Amino acid sequence: MLREEEMEIAIKVVVVGNGAVGKSSMIQRYCKGIFTKDYKKTIGVDFLERQIEVQSEDIRLMLWDTAGQEEFDAITKAYYRGAQACVLAFSTVDRDSFEAIESWKRKVEDEVGEISMVIVQNKIDLIDDAVVKNDEAEALAKKLRLRFYRTSVKDNLNVEEVFRYLAEKYLQQLNNEEEDDTIACHEIGSQLNNPEPNNHIEERVRDSSKILSYSPKVKVKSEKHKDSKNGKIKLTSAYNDDGTIHLQPSKRRTHGKKAVVFGKCSVL
């Protein structure tokens, strides 16, 4: 049986919102620590990752940068699959981008159902030219029942907080699921003590191997990504049938000591 400490947790986060609100900049800032003034619109999708430590857990955040332009909708939608968290971004100086937030939320939920989300108002450094009032933005967040952050990727304000919040929220969900699994294991245990033959029990015991390996619904199907740095195929995660759970035993974490890597990035 794998101990909890031997798991590596990877979270797929999609960053969505209208074109030019600062999605690529946000991901670049977070993963590479840089900001560029030039605007190069994203064609399709892009991907960066960073490892952080949250509550003594190593978390790998896989950040998917999707094109904001509608013309790419058909491509980007496919990449929402398997996401566990989402950033809905709009810009302080772009009214349309604010009004599009609900529709972005729907687009993502149509593909992946309900996942953790956060609303981000970027370019807060341009507050003097704001076209969205503070209370409007707060009201939207309240209505959608989502945490709301104001960021300036340019000034590196609040970017870390956004992703940390999503990681913490996901960990919390995992812990809740783990509690449910423990209850399920107890149930199976008590049924095994029942001498009556029962096909259902047999079926559930077969399933319980999955429970014992931490998550009840995970069928370990690995996804391979090509690492463009060294050309090697990298195993990144385990998906279940609907692509929602990403847990993978990691040999890197077995000796008590954790190799915590802050700000590690790789372009895939």
Ligand X SMILES: Nc1nc2c(ncn2[C@@H]2O[C@H](COP(=O)(O)OP(=O)(O)OP(=O)(O)O)[C@@H](O)[C@H]2O)c(=O)[nH]1
Contacts to ligand X by CB under 6 A: 19-25, 36-39, 41-42, 67-69, 122-123, 125-126, 152-154
Q: Which residue lies nearer to ligand X by CB, 40 or 257?
A: 40
Do residues 82 and 114 touch, judged by C-beta distance below 8 A? no
Q: Work out how close the CB of 84 gets to ligand X at its nearest, in angstroms, rounded to a whole number.
A: 21
Say how far apart CA 135 and CA 137 lie, in whole Å.
5
Residue 2: CB atoms within 10 A of its CB come to 14
The nearest distance, CB 68 to ligand X, in angstroms, is 3
Q: Least Å distance between CB 184 and ligand X?
A: 42
Between 45 and 188, CB nearer to ligand X: 45
Task: Tell me the residue nearest to ligand X as measured from the CB.
Answer: 68
Q: Are the C-beta atoms of 23 and 253 separated by less than 8 Å?
A: no
- Rank residues 23 and 169 by Cβ distance to ligand X and give the closer one: 23
Report, in Å, the least distance between residue 47 CB and ligand X.
Answer: 13
Q: Which is nearer to ligand X, 125 or 227 (CB)?
A: 125
134's CB contacts (< 8 A; 6+ apart) are: none
When the beta carbons of 69 and 213 are compared against ligand X, the nearer one is 69
Shortest distance in whole angstroms from residue 127 CB to ligand X: 10
**Cβ pair 181, 216 in contact under 8 A:** yes
